[in-house]
């Protein structure tokens, strides 16, 4: 038995070489590197030909089927087959693990592992199903035969058990995946939209769904703070103003009191509130950055070349399109984009009239800046006016005057982008570049408005704090008067003051929360109303007035509206920014947002299918995928700034909220550290916060960034060199 | 096959799940849609093959300019006409959401290779562009534009300058594209 293996191995090697020659280098795929079919698995089972022989396996399955498909008959190979098989019959039929030497055992283990890997990689092989099937069956037989035999003696049962658990685990994973894909909400709706409108419009809805998921998680997070009974709802007007009882309800910051420990759990209310706030922000950052990294990975960055024409040819068709009208539009847009690209390439050498173009562009930017400044001033003015109204008492003013701020902000958000669109006609950019400028300007508009709003809010906060001091002063007087009264009859029962009689201080945090909620609600209402009027009403008018109108309403002006992907995505991002800003002061905001996104999904899906037509110029939104994520990240950062500023500088109200009575909100952390944790932890923290430690750490990070950047540059250069080499070789 | 055309056996179903990127529901849906394409006599055959004309009536393929090439590429018959159920599953698996970039780019290459010679030469590229620009004459490119376009494409993608784009060059270009994976999808 010891002689024959060597001989067989020799035969095996020969056979492997001869069959390798049979594989034509260009069967399915020749390539410049001269290697064989790139679809061959890395751990080629035929490397295990030795093993196959030894354990009386016939030829390895992949080679056997490839031999079948190759055209020249392999008589020599077949002859060898028969000879070897005859010899093998002399060898023992069964293999016992005890008879194997350790290296042979190792080889067997490797063979088994490789078969397992092959099975897992089978679905990614570009083979026809028959071949995959036969490979699977053969590999499974091999595994059944030898996997159980691998564990020897006592370890055998454990090994078999492990194998069985592994199988069950794979099956469970597969079932779980099936279940989760069935559970993804709105999948059919999005699929329908994809087939009618293409993947760019559908990408907006996919983004919406992702936001919904994030808000659900934020909402659950905040829900961990315990809630007592809910307050009774008041009538709608009061509720709209979020005054009255709602003010003291669970929705707002003011409800959570400042007791250090609640109930038998010793639940630390202030600390938990603070940590929940920090946690939600950290979670949001992580999710956005992870998505960006994944997008960047898929894009395969690093190569300087953009394969403009090749991409247009190979990747421009959207296979999801199932609607002939959309397909026609797509054909037209592809043709246009080809022609444009060709023209652009020719014209990039000419520059006629560059001075005129430059002047016009500068003029356009100047106009845009004026618009932005104008809108900022308008908001500031309106907020001031509403403060004046508040001082005079809201009952004297009309509904418009009461809600002026929110209405103005929403209207600005609606009309300014249209203005920017008109101005950008002056600039004469390539459409994609123009789209990016447009998005950037809308971004600046929203940001400017939001920050002006916040600055105006700061003034109100200061006003409230002055009020607080007054109330505090009054309270001490009132308490003093109480004590004076009871001091006379010391035997009388202690005075019981009804809690509602105690004068409450104004709570600026709740006021901030209220303002945000009002803003978001009015923003939502404006969006829905524009949707209904702009899209639905327009579609109805065009459809029904067309019969009695002089020109063709459907083809000319106004025609049906298209779905504005970028505008809607921006709106979604800004809404999320506002939620993040206000979430610390009004924990109900994510819940509100979940509701809002839910309604939006259904409403917009219906509107898109019913009132919109497929876009004429179909832009791939995915190219801007990372652009939207980057904006989301910037907004997240900018939204957390005001909250951080207020936490760090403004003292909390003395009378409401979990942090009342403290000088600063983050004092709660210090207190916890001092009182609840053992002494050495606070020592550790104080060392960690030492500037002597923080500065060298920051320096280290800067050095790491510099190093990584220089290595990436050197990789790019190496890439270019290799490309040149390739061309020289051929 | 261990199943009649009307019912998929359980083992076969789990094997298909192992060998494709499709979930169980997707495979069952595919089976249902496939049997609808068969004619009545064919339904009783052990391994029925749906004719190309029937497959091209599927709404997901009807508007696709590459529909005939797709059927040809995935067909395993000698005349490259018609798909069995397993071919159909292969098709859906390659076009599914969870398929890898490698397998998508491999099949995309084969679809674009109109003359099946293993490389994309100028004739293939010309036919490809004509498919993309639609059937009517108004939307087609002029011969000059076509020439310019093809030379631009070859300049970008043909790394070894042999006048054709082979599989690895194609995969190199495609892997850098942000749109390919999301647009190369067909879902029933």
User: pLDDT by residue (tens digit) across A140-152?
Assistant: 888 888 776 665 5
Is B89 found in the same domain as B133?
no
Residues of A in contact with B156 (CB under 8 A): 305, 307-310
Q: What's the average model confidence in pLDDT over A592-616?
A: 83
DSSP lists the bridge partners of residue A262 as: A267
Position B166 in a domain: yes
Residues B119, B166, single domain; the answer is yes
Specify the DSSP class assigned to residue A262.
B
CB count in 10 Å sphere of residue B104: 20
Q: Which residue of B has its CA nearest to A140?
A: B15
Name the pLDDT band for A77 (thresholds 50, 70, 90).
Answer: very low
- Structure confidence at residue A209 (pLDDT): 84
Residues B108 and B82 in one domain: no
- B117 and B171: one domain? yes
Q: How far is A68 from chain B (nearest CA, A)?
A: 15
pLDDT band at A187 (very low <50, low <70, confident <90, very high): confident
For residue A238, CA distances in Å to A149, A245, A332 come to 77, 9, 55
Q: To probe the interface with B, which of A29, A171, A302, A310 has the most B CB atoms within 10 Å?
A: A310
Cβ-based contacts of A32 with chain B (< 8 Å): 159-160, 162, 166, 168-169
**pLDDT band at residue B104, thresholds of 50, 70 and 90?**
very high
Residue A727 is nearest to which of B17, B157, B160, comparing CB atoms?
B160
Which carries the bigger pLDDT value, residue A721 or residue A32? A721
- Tell me: do B60 and B80 sit in the same domain: yes
Closest Cβ opposite residue B183 in set A199, A331, A625: A199
Contact B129 A338 (CB under 8 A): yes
Q: pLDDT digit string (tens) for A686-710? A: 777 777 888 888 999 999 999 999 9
* A302, closest residue in chain B (CA to CA): B176
User: Judging by DSSP bridges, how do beta strands B49-50 and A612-613 pair with one another?
Assistant: unpaired
Do B78 and B105 fall into the same domain? no
Domain boundary among B67, B94, B121: B94
Q: For residues B76 and B114, state if they share a domain.
A: no
- Interface confidence (ipTM) of the complex: 0.89
Domain boundary among B56, B71, B94: B94
Chain A partners within 8 Å of B134 (Cβ) = 328, 331-332, 334-335
Q: What percent of chain A has pLDDT over 90?
A: 3
Mutate to test the interface with A, among B183, B185, B186, B188 (most CBs of A within 10 A): B183
- Residues B85 and B109 occupy one common structural domain: no
- For residue A187, CA distances in Å to A148, A182, A622 come to 43, 8, 19
Among B94, B114, B139, give the residue marking a domain's end. Answer: B94
Residues of B in contact with A620 (CB under 8 A): 178-179, 183
Judged by CB atoms closer than 8 Å, whether chains meet at B152 and A299 is answered as no
Nearest CA in chain A to B180: A315
Total count of domains within chain B:
2
Q: Residue A290 above 50 pLDDT?
A: yes
Q: Is residue B3 part of a domain?
A: no
Q: In whole angstroms, give the CA distance from residue A409 to residue A521.
A: 12
Q: Say if B118 falls within a structural domain.
A: yes
In this prediction, residue A236 has a pLDDT band, given cuts at 50, 70 and 90, of: very low
| B28 domain residue, yes or no | yes
Enumerate residues 6+ apart whose C-beta is below 8 A from A581. A450, A454, A516, A639, A640, A642, A643
Task: Give the pLDDT score at A445.
Answer: 83
Report if pTM > 0.95. Answer: no
Q: Collect all residues of chain B within an 8 Å Cβ-Cβ radius of residue A342.
A: 145, 148-149, 152
CB B34 within 8 A of CB B89: no
How far does B11 lie from chain A, in Å, by closest CA? 12
* B74 lies in the same domain as B138: no
Range of the domain at B147: 101-183
Query: Domain for residue B25, yes or no?
Result: yes
Chain CA centroid to CA A192, Å: 22
Q: What is the mean pLDDT of chain B?
A: 86
pLDDT bracket for residue A660 (50, 70, 90): low
Examine the pLDDT at A93 and tell me if it is beyond 50.
no
Q: Say if residue A230's pLDDT is above 80.
A: no
Q: Give the tens place of pLDDT for each residue, A305-338.
A: 577 888 888 888 888 888 888 888 788 878 877 8
Give per-residue pLDDT as tens, A350-373.
666 778 888 888 888 898 889 888
pLDDT digits over B35-93, tens only?
Answer: 888 888 777 788 888 888 889 999 888 889 999 999 999 998 888 888 889 999 999 99
Considering only the beta carbons, identify the residue of B102, B133, B157 that sits closest to A331: B133
User: Nearest by CB to B177, which of A315, A334, A727?
Assistant: A315
Least confident residue range of A470-479, A712-721, B45-54: A470-479
Chain B residues whose beta carbon lies within 8 Å of the beta carbon of residue A31? 166-168
Binning pLDDT at 50, 70 and 90, where does residue B106 land? very high
| pLDDT per residue as tens digits for the range A13-49 | 444 443 333 333 333 333 333 333 434 334 344 434 4
What is the chain B residue with the closest CA to A336? B139
Do B105 and B88 fall into the same domain?
Answer: no
Contact B64 A320 (CB under 8 A): no
B1 in a domain, yes or no? no
Same domain, residue pair B137 and B172? yes
Q: Is B160 within 8 Å of A32 when comparing Cβ atoms?
A: yes
pLDDT at site A75: 41
CA dist A73 and A673 (Å) reads: 81
Phi/psi at A613 (nearest 5 deg)? -115, 160
Domain check: are B110 and B176 in the same one? yes
Q: How far is B157 from chain A (nearest CA, A)?
A: 7
Look at residue A13 in the predicted model and tell me its pLDDT.
42
| Partner-chain residue, chosen from A178, A317, A726, that has the shortest CB–CB distance to B159 | A726
Of A521, A523, A532, the C-alpha closest to A604 is: A532
Q: Read off the CATH number of the domain in which B164 is found.
A: 1.10.238.10
Residue B15 lies in a domain: yes
Domain-embedded: residue B163: yes
pLDDT tens digits for A667-680?
A: 666 676 666 667 77
Residue A304 binned pLDDT confidence (cut-offs 50, 70, 90): very low
Measured between CA atoms, the residue of chain A closest to residue B85 is A129
Segment A179-183 shows an average pLDDT of 73
Average pLDDT of chain A to the nearest whole number: 70
């Amino acid at each position: 038995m010891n002689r024959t293996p060597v001989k067989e191995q020799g035969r095996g090697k020969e056979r492997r070489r001869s069959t390798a020659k049979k594989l034509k280098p260009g069967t399915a795929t020749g390539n410049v590197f001269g290697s064989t079919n790139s679809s061959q698995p890395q751990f080629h089972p035929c490397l295990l030909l030795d093993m196959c022989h030894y354990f009386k396996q016939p030829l390895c399955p992949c080679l056997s089927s490839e031999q079948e498909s190759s055209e020249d008959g392999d008589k020599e190979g077949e002859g060898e087959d028969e000879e070897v098989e005859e010899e093998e019959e002399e060898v023992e039929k069964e293999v016992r693990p005890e008879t194997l030497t350790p290296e042979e055992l190792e080889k067997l283990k490797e063979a088994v592992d490789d078969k397992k890997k092959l099975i897992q990689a089978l679905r990614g092989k570009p083979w026809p199903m028959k071949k995959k099937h036969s490979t699977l069956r053969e590999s499974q037989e091999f595994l059944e035969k030898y996997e159980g035999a691998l564990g020897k003696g006592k370890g055998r049962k454990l090994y078999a058990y492990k194998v069985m658990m592994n199988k069950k685990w794979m099956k469970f994973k597969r079932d779980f995946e099936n279940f989760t894909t069935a559970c993804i909400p709105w999948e059919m709706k999005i699929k329908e939209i994809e087939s009618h409108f293409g993947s760019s419009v559908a990408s907006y809805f996919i983004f919406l769904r992702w936001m919904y998921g994030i808000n659900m998680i934020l909402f659950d997070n905040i829900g961990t703070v315990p809630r007592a009974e809910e307050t009774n709802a008041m009538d709608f007007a009061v509720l709209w103003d979020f005054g009255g009882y709602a003010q003291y309800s669970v929705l707002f910051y003011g409800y959570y009191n400042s007791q250090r420990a609640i109930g038998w759990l010793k639940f630390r209310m202030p600390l938990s509130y603070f940590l929940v706030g920090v946690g939600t922000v950290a979670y949001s950052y992580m999710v956005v950055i992870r998505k960006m990294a994944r997008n960047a990975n898929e894009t395969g960055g690093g190569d300087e070349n953009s394969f403009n024409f090749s991409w247009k040819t190979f990747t421009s068709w959207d296979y999801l399109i199932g609607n002939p009208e959309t397909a026609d539009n797509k054909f037209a847009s592809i043709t246009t984009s080809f022609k444009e690209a060709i023209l652009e390439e020719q014209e990039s050498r000419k520059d006629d009239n560059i001075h005129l173009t430059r002047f016009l562009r500068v003029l356009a930017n100047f106009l845009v800046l004026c618009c932005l400044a104008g809108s900022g001033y308008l908001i500031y003015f309106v907020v001031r006016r509403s403060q004046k109204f508040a001082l005079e008492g809201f009952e004297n003013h009309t509904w418009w005057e009461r809600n002026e701020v929110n209405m103005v902000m929403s209207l600005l958000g609606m009309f300014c982008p249209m203005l920017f669109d008109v101005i950008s006609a002056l600039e004469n950019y390539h459409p994609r570049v123009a789209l990016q400028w447009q998005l950037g300007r809308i971004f600046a508009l929203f940001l400017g408005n939001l920050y002006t709003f916040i600055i105006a809010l700061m003034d109100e906060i200061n006003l409230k704090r002055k009020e607080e001091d007054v109330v505090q002063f009054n309270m001490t007087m009132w308490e003093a008067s109480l004590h004076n009264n009871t001091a006379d009859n010391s035997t009388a029962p202690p005075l019981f003051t009804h809690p509602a009689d105690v004068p409450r201080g104004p709570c600026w945090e709740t006021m901030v929360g209220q303002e945000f909620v009002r803003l978001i609600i009015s923003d939502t209402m404006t969006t829905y109303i524009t949707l209904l009027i702009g899209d639905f009403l327009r579609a109805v008018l065009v459809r029904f007035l067309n019969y009695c109108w002089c020109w063709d309403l459907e083809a000319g002006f106004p025609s049906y509206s298209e779905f504005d992907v970028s505008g809607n995505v921006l709106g979604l991002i800004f809404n999320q920014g506002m939620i993040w800003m206000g979430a610390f002061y009004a924990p109900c905001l994510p819940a509100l947002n979940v509701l809002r996104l839910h309604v939006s999904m259904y409403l917009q899906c219906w509107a898109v299918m019913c009132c919109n037509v497929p876009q004429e110029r179909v832009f791939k939104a995915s190219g801007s995928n990372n652009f939207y994520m980057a904006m989301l990240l910037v907004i997240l950062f900018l939204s957390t700034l005001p909250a951080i500023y207020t936490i760090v500088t403004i003292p909390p109200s003395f009378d409401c909220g979990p942090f009342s009575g403290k000088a600063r909100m983050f004092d709660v952390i210090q207190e916890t550290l001092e009182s609840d944790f053992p002494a050495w932890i606070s020592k550790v923290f104080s060392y960690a916060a030492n500037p002597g430690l923080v500065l060298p750490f920051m320096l280290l990070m800067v050095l790491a960034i510099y190093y990584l950047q220089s290595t990436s540059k050197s990789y790019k250069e190496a890439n270019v060199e290799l490309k040149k080499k390739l061309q020289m070789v051929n | 096959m261990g199943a009649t055309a009307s019912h998929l056996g359980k083992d076969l179903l789990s094997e298909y799940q192992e060998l494709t990127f499709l979930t169980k529901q997707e495979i069952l849906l595919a089976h249902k849609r496939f049997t609808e394409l068969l004619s009545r006599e064919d339904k009783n055959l052990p391994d029925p093959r749906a004719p190309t004309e029937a497959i091209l009536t599927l709404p997901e393929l009807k508007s696709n300019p590459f529909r005939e090439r797709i059927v040809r590429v995935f067909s395993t018959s000698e005349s490259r006409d018609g798909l069995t159920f397993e071919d159909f599953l292969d098709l859906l698996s390659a076009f599914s959401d969870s398929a890898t970039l490698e397998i998508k780019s491999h099949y995309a290459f084969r679809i674009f290779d109109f003359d099946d010679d293993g490389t994309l030469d100028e004739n293939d590229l010309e036919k490809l562009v004509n498919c993309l620009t639609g059937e009517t004459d108004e939307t087609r490119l002029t011969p000059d534009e076509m020439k310019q376009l093809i030379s631009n494409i070859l300049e970008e993608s043909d790394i070894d300058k042999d006048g054709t784009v082979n599989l690895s060059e194609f995969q190199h270009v495609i892997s850098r594209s942000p749109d390919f994976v999301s647009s190369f999808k067909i879902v029933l």
